[in-house]
Amino acid sequence: MAGIQATGIAGQADLAARIARLEAESQVRQLIARYSFDIDDRRVDAVRDLFADDAVLRSAD
Per-residue model confidence as pLDDT tens digits over 13-60: 899 999 999 999 999 999 999 999 999 999 999 999 999 999 987 878
Q: What is the pLDDT of residue 6?
A: 59
Q: What is the pLDDT of residue 12?
A: 85
Q: In the Cβ-directed half-sphere of 55, how many Cα atoms lie within 13 Å? A: 9
Q: What is the pLDDT of residue 5?
A: 63
**Contacts of residue 29, Cβ cutoff 8 Å, sequence gap at least 6:** none
Going 25 to 29 to 34 to 35, the CA torsion angle's sign is: positive
pLDDT surpassing 90 at residue 7: no
Q: What is the pLDDT of residue 58?
A: 82
Q: What is the pLDDT of residue 10?
A: 76
